[in-house]
Amino acid sequence: MATTKHMPAPAEVKEELLKKYPPKVARKRAKQILITEAQQAETPEITANVRTIPGIITMRGCTYAGCKGVILGPTRDIVNITHGPIGCGFYSWLTRRNQTDASAPGAENYMTYCFSTDMQDQDIIFGGEKKLEAAIQEAYEIFHPKAIAIFATCPVGLIGDDIHAVARKMKAKFGDCNVFAFSCEGYKGVSQSAGHHIANNQIFRHVVGENDADKPGEYRINLLGEYNIGGDGFEIDRILKKCGITNNATVSGNSTYDQFASAHKADLNAVMCHRSINYVADMLETKYGIPWIKVNFIGAASTAKSLRKIAQYFGDRSLIDRVEEVIAEEMPEVEAVAADVRSRTDGKTAMLFVGGSRAHHYQDLFAEIGMKSISAGYEFAHRDDYEGRHVIPDLKVDADSRNIEELEVEADAERFSSRKTPDELEKLKEAGFKFKHYDGLIPDMDKGTLVVDDLNQYEAEKLVELLRPDIFCAGIKEKFSIQKLGIPMKQLHSYDSGGPYAGFKGAVNFYKEIDRLVNSKVWGYLKAPWQEHPELSAAYVWE
Ligand code: CFM
């Protein structure tokens, strides 16, 4: 049943969020808090991908996390060595719930190991290159992997270890193991987003195109920006397989070194998480001629739409029909559960503050059970993820973004091939088909909702207090502070040990879980009796 609550106007909420800040901080934060007027397309620009103001407790992570954890983390057969103090390696070890299937006989899986050079004080003083070399040698002798990746942590950049020279030396020495390094020091960018870019560049430079052998399967696509959190990638792969679409490489959920090496063998790139991977999609298009489209497998309707888009691209009647059959087979169960759940969730409200894509994608799932997203934002996305790719030419290049290398990519003289003739492309465009297209989060939000970039702990609690959503979605750092306010909190990074939520079966899991969360009575019992009726009460002197 829908409940009507009194909600303060969005402008009042914004004012409240800013009230306690010193004037300079308030001025800066004001540019990152926007009231949408999507219907009128009057939304002014939002400030994003800028430094968090020191002292503010941000939800963001570091550049090392974006490179080592997010992009390279889900690939099972690359030995990932963290060059740095042990904490960086240890705390990035299996903390993101990217799953992998290493059940094939002989499959290598190094994800269960934590490799680190364990830098000590003397390495900081005298340099850590020798220690790194020894670690690479040791890993090679024990495992004989196809590839070893080295990740720089903050102190490595500060003391100036040349990790790339070490990588080159060891690669030449071994001859049968690709060794490459990432200058992904935690401080390198304003968030983990810089780490995505650094990872993408090096994977493209050192791995993509290494295997030219022909790959099997019809309708070959790469799935870019899908990381198999909670098994999402398994569900998407199940659906693609059922449709007869071959997933040539996922970057990087449940992936292997060879998938990256063969990524140039696909005929279409389907991009899930635009923020983390659009660089790779662009580079694969320029160098090898593979077009890319934006897809979304979060939400049953979005899944169906994405499958239809892929089928339309290939244009074969048999594939188009098969996709329709699969949708017709899968949807009845999804719709039955959605209808049942909707009777209890319709009109309820959600807030989503996650990463660089999920705060957008998950709104579809909530909408399918009648729930409204009243406020949302990303931790580290760029303006294009909010406002659409048309703003890319206007993006300001500042000292922080200039710090991240832009690869100069050209068409490969031998291996570039246009996947479609100009005529075919024209026909697709005439039929409304859009390549390289993403409109971002803002146009999908209702008028008068609040979009907040890089939300912090203080603002999160204020927002909850003022708007009392029925559910709040973010990560582990926010989990308990929100629940203590009596609002259920769903982790959309790790899924709270749940999932998958992608595809058709994932949608069913999500509906059921949200139903349980928002309709649980437990949230009404959070205050102890003495909190509601204290025998004694007091105030701080400054209050
Ligand atoms: Fe892309 Fe991600 Fe996300 Fe992301 Fe992430 Fe993640 Fe995320 Mo956590 S790659 S931007 S850096 S969809 S780890 S799988 S959940 S913040 S919204």
Give the per-residue pLDDT at 1: 43
pLDDT at residue 297 is higher than 90? yes
Token pair of 194 as six digits: 């810089």
Using the atom order of ligand 1, give the atom closest to the CA of residue 493: 15
Q: At what angle do helices 503-518 and 358-368 cross, to 10 degrees?
A: 80
**Sheet holding 246-252: strands in order across?**
246-252, 220-226, 268-271, 292-294
**Nearest by Cα to 68 from 177, 182, 231:** 182
Q: Is the peptide bond before 193 cis (omega within 30 degrees of 0)?
A: no
Give the per-residue pLDDT at 77: 98
Three-state DSSP class for residue 80: strand
- Triad 480, 491, 20: Cα angle to 5°: 55
Centre of ligand 1 to C-alpha 357, Å, is: 7
Give the C-alpha separation, 297 to 295, whole Å.
7
Determine whether the shortest distance from the Cβ of 500 to ligand 1 is under 6 A: no
Give the per-residue pLDDT at 539: 86
pLDDT digits (tens, 9 = 90+) for 94-134: 999 999 999 999 999 999 999 999 999 999 999 999 999 99
Determine whether the shortest distance from the Cβ of 243 to ligand 1 is under 6 A: no
Counting runs of H as helices and runs of E as strands, what totals does the chain give?
22, 14
Nearest CA to ligand 1 atom 14: 227
Give the per-residue pLDDT at 41: 52
Nearest CA to ligand 1 atom 8: 493
Rounded (10°) CA dihedral 438, 440, 444, 445:
180
Percent of the chain residues topping a pLDDT of 70: 98
Single out the catalytic residue among 29, 60, 196, 358: 196
Nearest CA to ligand 1 atom 7: 355
Residue 65 known to be catalytic: yes
Cα 518 to the center of its chain, rounded Å: 25
Determine whether the shortest distance from the Cβ of 18 to ligand 1 is under 6 A: no
- Triad 433, 228, 193: Cα angle to 5°: 75
Centre of ligand 1 to C-alpha 275, Å, is: 9
pLDDT digits (tens, 9 = 90+) for 206-215: 999 999 999 9
Give the C-alpha separation, 510 to 338, whole Å.
10
Phi, psi of 79 (to 5 degrees): -80, 120
pLDDT digits (tens, 9 = 90+) for 130-146: 999 999 999 999 999 99
**Nearest by Cα to 192 from 316, 99, 64:** 64
Determine whether the shortest distance from the Cβ of 276 to ligand 1 is under 6 A: yes
44 or 188, which is more confident?
Answer: 188
Min mean pLDDT across 145-159, 351-365, 516-530 is at 516-530
Q: Which of 275, 455, 501 to mutate to test the pocket of ligand 1 (most atoms within 8 A of CB)?
A: 275
**Nearest by Cα to 132 from 182, 175, 205:** 182
Note whether 344 and 322 are within 8 A (CB): no
Diameter of the chain by CA atoms? 82
Give the C-alpha separation, 457 to 491, whole Å.
15
Q: Which of 49, 63, 227 to mutate to test the pocket of ligand 1 (most atoms within 8 A of CB)?
A: 227
**Nearest by Cα to 227 from 326, 365, 366, 361:** 361
pLDDT confidence band for 6 (50 / 70 / 90): confident
Give the C-alpha separation, 74 to 226, whole Å.
10
Centre of ligand 1 to C-alpha 493, Å, is: 7
Using the atom order of ligand 1, give the atom closest to the CA of residue 65: 11
Residue 274 known to be catalytic: no
The residues with which 223 forms a beta bridge, in sequence order, are 250, 270
Number of residues that make up the chain: 543
- The number of C-alpha atoms within 13 Å of 92 and in the hemisphere containing its C-beta is 30
**Nearest by Cα to 236 from 332, 331, 303:** 303
Determine whether the shortest distance from the Cβ of 192 to ligand 1 is under 6 A: yes
Strands 115-116 and 178-182: unpaired
Token pair of 11 as six digits: 């402008």
Determine whether the shortest distance from the Cβ of 354 to ligand 1 is under 6 A: yes
pLDDT at residue 38 is higher than 60? no
Give the C-alpha separation, 468 to 485, whole Å.
9
Determine whether the shortest distance from the Cβ of 229 to ligand 1 is under 6 A: yes
Q: Which long-range contacts (CB under 8 A, 24 or more apart) does 20-23 make?
A: 20/458
pLDDT confidence band for 5 (50 / 70 / 90): low
Determine whether the shortest distance from the Cβ of 362 to ligand 1 is under 6 A: no
Give the per-residue pLDDT at 40: 53
Give the C-alpha separation, 53 to 62, whole Å.
15
Mean pLDDT, range 192-213, rounded to an integer: 98
Single out the catalytic residue among 48, 62, 281, 473: 62
Burial class (CB in 10 A: 0-12, 13-18, 19+), 168: middle
Give the C-alpha separation, 136 to 198, whole Å.
21
Centre of ligand 1 to C-alpha 298, Å, is: 13
Residue 196 known to be catalytic: yes
Give the C-alpha separation, 273 to 225, whole Å.
4
Nearest CA to ligand 1 atom 10: 356
Determine whether the shortest distance from the Cβ of 381 to ligand 1 is under 6 A: no
Cα 194 to the center of its chain, rounded Å: 13
Centre of ligand 1 to C-alpha 410, Å, is: 29
pLDDT digits (tens, 9 = 90+) for 381-417: 999 999 999 999 999 999 999 999 999 999 999 999 9
Other beta carbons less than 10 A from residue 308's beta carbon: 14
Using the atom order of ligand 1, give the atom closest to the CA of residue 354: 17
Other beta carbons less than 10 A from residue 165's beta carbon: 12
The alpha helices in 57-162, defined as continuous H runs, are 63-64, 86-91, 121-126, 129-143, 154-159
Determine whether the shortest distance from the Cβ of 275 to ligand 1 is under 6 A: yes
Determine whether the shortest distance from the Cβ of 477 to ligand 1 is under 6 A: no
Centre of ligand 1 to C-alpha 445, Å, is: 20
Single out the catalytic residue among 29, 60, 65, 139: 65
Using the atom order of ligand 1, give the atom closest to the CA of residue 98: 14
User: What stretch of H or E contains 206?
Assistant: helix 192-206
First to last CA, the chain: 40
Centre of ligand 1 to C-alpha 37, Å, is: 26
Residue 96 known to be catalytic: yes
